[in-house]
Chain A
């Protein structure tokens, strides 16, 4: 979007990531409700996910979508409800995105590789 302003770009990315998350969240909620039946344990989680490529792909997409969607939303709240300057809100947004990406992929890839220990 070469000629579009920042606000427009953020709006489009927010809606696009929301569409992806819509699907991811529905799948995630179903999986979680099934998973918590009969209790939850680390062993159970690891045996389900480690080495499972489909799981890896799904949750990688999920992490990226969250890393786009959540910081944009938080930025809007900061812009409207705090005294932060607009340029500062963009910085916070970028930092949040990196935090979610790094923590998210560490977890997803880590769990995929776990259990082979």
Chain B
């Protein structure tokens, strides 16, 4: 094994090119270490994002050898099997510069999917008892660990093919709120996730499941949304309480 590694890094915006660097190998080196080395020792004009560097914030998400990952949690040994690395910004998002992408659309879609809490009580009311083994609570628990890193969004083919598609993270968030008994916004939420870019556009390819660093299954949440939307629609014909 040589003591350096060849790294191809994306430079520019949507239009741009890969630039090659040679970086010394270190034990337990992560891809974030490599990018940081380049910026500090070779080319200070390289732009990239990171924050915690210990795998809890999701800021350092990039495309590494074709796959979206957290660079701080990606060991070079595991991915650069032939001594080469290719690093580019997350797919499906506008590129600000080099390895930093614009997360605006990602978060806009969270809003469009009604992935926000609608409170129903005031401080003067009694609060809802939600027991840990309540089935809805369990469903919500499966999805609430999402930190909005964008890896699933970058991995999703439907996001690539359908500009309106809300995406796995936004729909996963919507599902957690559908299961939140304290929330009062379900009518708007069901409408929001059943439009042109809604839950029905998911084909269960599970690119999101495959790549989510928190091991969440947005596909599972989206299937739940499909059931909830269908139930709501069928109630419309057959009547019943709402």
Judged by CB atoms under 8 Å, the answer to whether A and B touch is yes
Q: Does A12 contact B234, Cβ atoms closer than 8 Å?
A: yes
Please classify the interface of chain B as helix (H, G, I), strand (E, B), loop, or mixed, using the class held by over half of its residues.
helix
A8 part of interface (Cβ distance < 8 Å): yes
A window 1-19: CB within 8 A of B: 1-5, 7-12
B200 surroundings in chain A (CB, below 8 A): 7-8, 10-11
CB pair A8–B161 under 8 Å, yes or no, is no
The proximity string for B residues 195-210 relative to A, scoring 1 for CB distances below 8 Å and 0 otherwise, is 1101011000000000
A60 within 8 A of B: no
Looking at A27-35, A37-45, A78-86, A100-108, the stretch in contact with chain B turns out to be A78-86
On whether A80 and B194 interact (CB within 8 A), knowing A1-B234, A3-B236, the answer reads: no
CB atoms of B161 and A4 under 8 A apart: no
B237 near A80 with CB under 8 A, answer no
Q: Collect the chain A residues with CB atoms within 8 Å of residue B194's CB.
A: 4-5, 7-8
B144, CB-defined interface residue at 8 Å: no
Known: A7-B196, A10-B200. A79 touches B229 (CB 8 A): no
Q: What are 11 residue pairs bridging A and B, where the CB atoms are less than 8 Å apart in the complex?
A: A1-B233, A1-B234, A3-B233, A4-B233, A5-B194, A7-B194, A7-B200, A7-B201, A8-B229, A10-B200, A80-B158
Question: Chain B residues in contact with chain A, CB under 8 A?
Answer: 158, 161-162, 191, 194-196, 198, 200-201, 226, 229-230, 232-234, 236-237
